[in-house]
Amino acid sequence: MHNLYKTESATAPFREFDLVLMLCCSFPFAGITRIRSYGYDLSPKYLGTPYDLDTKVMGKSIYAILKNEIPCFAQLAFPNLFLKFRFQQTLKPMKLYKLPSGTLLQTSDSFLLGPSLNWNDLLGRENLKEYLTIESKTWRSLEEEEANDLIKAGLQSPMGDQEIWAAGVTYYRSRTARMEESQDAGGADFYDKVYAADRPELFFKATSSRVSAPGGKVNIRKDSTWDVPEPELTLLISPAGRIQGFTVGNDMSSRSIEGENPLYLPQAKVYQGCAAIGPCILVQDEIISEETLIKLEIYREGQLAFTGETELTQLKRKPKELAEWLFKGNTFPIGCFLMTGTGIVPDDFTLEVDDKVCITIEGIGTLENFIAKI
For the segment 164-200, what is each residue's pLDDT rounded down to a tens digit?
A: 999 988 886 565 554 455 555 555 566 777 777 889 9
316-329: b or e for each residue (b if 16 or more CB lie within 10 Å)?
Answer: bbebeebbebbbee
Pairing state of beta strands 217-220 and 365-373? parallel
Check residue 10 and give its pLDDT: 35
| Other Cβ atoms closer than 10 A to 213 | 21
Helix/strand number for the chain, H first, E second: 10, 24
Spatial CB neighbours of 109, under 8 Å, sequence gap ≥ 6:
none
Check residue 67 and give its pLDDT: 58
DSSP 3-state of 243 = strand
H or E stretch covering 31: helix 30-37
Domain extents for the chain? 3-90, 94-153, 163-373
pTM of the model: 0.77
Give every residue of the chain whose pLDDT is below 70, as ranges: 1-91, 172-190
Length of the chain in terms of residues written: 374
Q: Which residues pair with 96 in a beta bridge?
A: 105, 281
Q: Which residues pair with 271 in a beta bridge?
A: none
Considering only CA atoms, which of 282, 292, 296, 295 is closest in space to residue 314? 292
Q: What are phi and psi of 174, to 5 degrees?
A: -65, -40
Question: 163-373: CATH homologous superfamily?
Answer: Fumarylacetoacetase-like, C-terminal domain (3.90.850.10)
